[in-house]
Amino acid sequence: MRAPIKPIPPKPSQYGIDPSLVKTRIADLPGMTSVSLKELFPDLPEVIFPGENGLAKVRQAAEEALMKVDMSMIKPEHSVNVLASHHGFTLLGGEPYAELLKAIKDVIEKRTGCRDIRLRAGVGMRFRETEEYIKRYGLDTYYDGKAIGIAPVDQGIPIETEIGTLYGIKKVYDADWIVHAHHSDVREVHFHRQVDKAVKPFGMSYARIETRSTYHQNLGPRGANFVARAIFDSEFVQKKFAFAAFLNIAPNGVVGVDVDNDLYALNDRVTFTGCQYYGKIMTLFGEIDECIAALDFPCPVPYVFSAGVIYANFTGANTDLYDLDAPLPPYTWYTEAFYGKRGKPLLGDIPPVNPAIKMCVHNYAWTGYPSAFFAEQIPTVVVGQEQAELFNRDPLNLNYMDYATVIKSTEAAMNFAYRATGTRKVIIFDGAMGGINVSEPLAELLTRKAPAVSERVDNELLPKWLRQRGVDLSVLNN
């Protein structure tokens, strides 16, 4: 058995406990090992990061891609807003995304002579999160003091769309041109269902509360992401859109950089790789019969990563999240909304939260996302009173600890979980790069099941997923 991969370290943040309080990482406990993703699925792409040349390869890929895109619309006297989102900074330590943002500024300057280039970094629900990243990665200095975090409660701007007025954040659009700087990581498949994933920030991190609420409350679980397309297609946004620059991500690392003036062409490529690469991992996770899920990553509860899959998606791995014929995943906000007062679903066909998760050990994860549903549905142990207190003080999580219990140390929490559940299978959501940190029995199960999963996705599921989304294989020729 191979040694565990070094997890992403805890990070100082107002949304998490002080890193010094994270005394033990789950991966360091006895019986833990790792599985290489390339060994599980040999057809996963070769990656440039992590790799021996580190960020230099990301920089090189970004510059090469950015040199090929049309920037002729940007004149020296113009202003440009480079639009970023918080999630990119949680990928593979955050440095690759920060490097892309730096390269975008440099290449625009070099190719157009434009000097008024600003960074506008949107957030999820932690309104100061990107402020923290801007400082951590030196982006404020790099962007000559023109880098700011933006939030969905900031001043808005109405945008006329095909479905009526929606609302964007004013500071997103206060330049002559916008550049959409994002990535192809799938993250919230339960929300966007891999439909227009590349467009999503226009309806989310670049959008006001009214738009985001439209997504999560008004349109339904599979129509939701249309708000992003509606805004992007608006005359107002189209007049400002210059190009999109994406970090091309697979579960095992950064594959390259994809830059295009046509966001929908890029979107089709993102849809394909999102279904193919991540679909295999998620389908494999659905084969896990029983386990303890250990959260150990500097992110809110649902967003902690294992092999590029977030915990929220693992709670739905008992179903096929990519299958659009199934309306409601085991977890999404529409599903959560449809649980009644007696704790039962209000509709008969709502699937249960993944019953393979026998217990969740919350060793280290942040506040800033309403997470009570997870603790309500899955027995949850939180390590350390300080972490419990942090959740008790979070306006989004005042009820989380109503359902979770506190245990003083990581070791004691895991021992409790082993005894209470009777399983020794552990999956660790700690952002390990290139592989998955797991316990030995789970490593054996994943290795044994992967070949059949790969074949099933290639031959049966992937063609269906792409057909449902109107995407054909020719997108890869572009």
Partner 1 sequence: MKLVTLLAQVDTDKCKGCRTCERVCPVLAIKVVDRKAVVDPERCRGCANCEQRCPDYAVTMIKREKPLQVGVDVHEVNYDEVVALCAKAKLHPEQRICYCVGTRADEVAAAIIKGARTPEEVSLVTGARTGCTIECIQPILRLLEAAGCELKPPEGGWQWYGRTATAWDLPEAVKQKYSSRGFYFEEDRAVLDKLVEEGIKGGDA
- Considering only residues 196, 260, 320, 430, which one is a binding residue for partner 1 as defined by CB under 8 A? 196
Is residue 280 involved in binding partner 1 (CB under 8 A)? Answer: no
Phi, psi of 407 (to 5 degrees): -130, 140
Is residue 265 involved in binding partner 1 (CB under 8 A)? Answer: no
Phi, psi of 39 (to 5 degrees): -75, -35
Return d(Cα 248, Cα 246) in angstroms, integer.
Answer: 6
Is residue 397 involved in binding partner 1 (CB under 8 A)? Answer: yes
Min CB(433)–partner 1 separation in Å: 30
DSSP state of 45: P
- Considering only residues 213, 385, 405, 447, which one is a binding residue for partner 1 as defined by CB under 8 A? 213
Q: Binding mask 296-325 vs partner 1 (x if CB under 8 A, - otherwise)?
A: ----------------------------x-
**Cβ of 223: how many Cβ atoms within 10 Å?**
12
User: Which is closer to partner 1, CB of 290 or CB of 336?
Assistant: 336
Return d(Cα 356, Cα 358) in angstroms, integer.
Answer: 6
Strand, helix or coil for residue 203: helix
Is residue 346 involved in binding partner 1 (CB under 8 A)? Answer: yes
| Contacting range for partner 1; rule: CB under 8 A; set: 135-143, 351-359, 390-398, 432-440 | 390-398
Cα torsion angle, 388, 389, 390, 394, sign: positive
Burial of 396 from C-beta contacts in 10 A (0-12 / 13-18 / 19+): middle
**Cβ of 450: how many Cβ atoms within 10 Å?**
21
The answer to whether the CB of 437 falls within 8 A of the CB of 428 is yes
**The pairing of beta strand 380-383 with beta strand 305-306:** unpaired
Min CB(198)–partner 1 separation in Å: 13
Min CB(316)–partner 1 separation in Å: 16
The answer to whether the CB of 25 falls within 8 A of the CB of 294 is no
User: Which is closer to partner 1, CB of 30 or CB of 395?
Assistant: 395
**Longest distance between any two alpha carbons in the chain, whole Å:** 67
Return d(Cα 390, Cα 74) in angstroms, integer.
Answer: 46
Is residue 370 involved in binding partner 1 (CB under 8 A)? Answer: yes
Return d(Cα 431, Cα 306) in angstroms, integer.
Answer: 5
Min CB(149)–partner 1 separation in Å: 10
Return d(Cα 77, Cα 90) in angstroms, integer.
Answer: 34
Cα torsion angle, 159, 161, 166, 172, sign: negative
Strand, helix or coil for residue 238: helix
> Which residues in the 120-139 window bind partner 1 by CB under 8 A?
125, 127-128
Q: How far is CA 51 from CA 48, 74, 356, in A?
A: 6, 34, 34
Min CB(313)–partner 1 separation in Å: 18
Q: Binding mask 228-247 vs partner 1 (x if CB under 8 A, - otherwise)?
A: -x------------------
Is residue 469 involved in binding partner 1 (CB under 8 A)? Answer: yes
Nearest to 74 by CA among 108, 110, 106: 108
The answer to whether the CB of 384 falls within 8 A of the CB of 408 is yes
Q: Binding mask 350-369 vs partner 1 (x if CB under 8 A, - otherwise)?
A: --------------------
User: Which is closer to partner 1, CB of 226 or CB of 285?
Assistant: 226
Is residue 220 involved in binding partner 1 (CB under 8 A)? Answer: yes
User: Which is closer to partner 1, CB of 190 or CB of 216?
Assistant: 216
Collect all residues with Cβ–Cβ distance below 8 Å to 74 and sequence separation of at least 6. Answer: 80, 108, 112, 114, 176, 177, 242
- Considering only residues 73, 265, 396, 406, which one is a binding residue for partner 1 as defined by CB under 8 A? 396
Is residue 274 involved in binding partner 1 (CB under 8 A)? Answer: no
Angle between helices 95-112 and 55-68 (to 10 degrees): 40
Is residue 347 involved in binding partner 1 (CB under 8 A)? Answer: yes
User: Which is closer to partner 1, CB of 19 or CB of 220?
Assistant: 220
Is residue 399 involved in binding partner 1 (CB under 8 A)? Answer: yes
- Considering only residues 141, 155, 385, 415, which one is a binding residue for partner 1 as defined by CB under 8 A? 155
User: Which is closer to partner 1, CB of 100 or CB of 401?
Assistant: 401
User: Which is closer to partner 1, CB of 36 or CB of 392?
Assistant: 392
**HSE of 418, CA atoms in CB hemisphere, 13 A:** 14
- Considering only residues 106, 109, 140, 154, which one is a binding residue for partner 1 as defined by CB under 8 A? 154
| Contacting range for partner 1; rule: CB under 8 A; set: 45-53, 63-71, 289-297, 466-474 | 466-474
Min CB(375)–partner 1 separation in Å: 13
- Considering only residues 237, 259, 372, 390, which one is a binding residue for partner 1 as defined by CB under 8 A? 372
Q: Which residues bind partner 1 (CB under 8 A)?
A: 125, 127-128, 151-156, 158, 162-167, 193-196, 208-214, 216-223, 225-226, 229, 324, 327-328, 333, 336-341, 346-347, 370, 372-373, 392-393, 395-399, 468-470
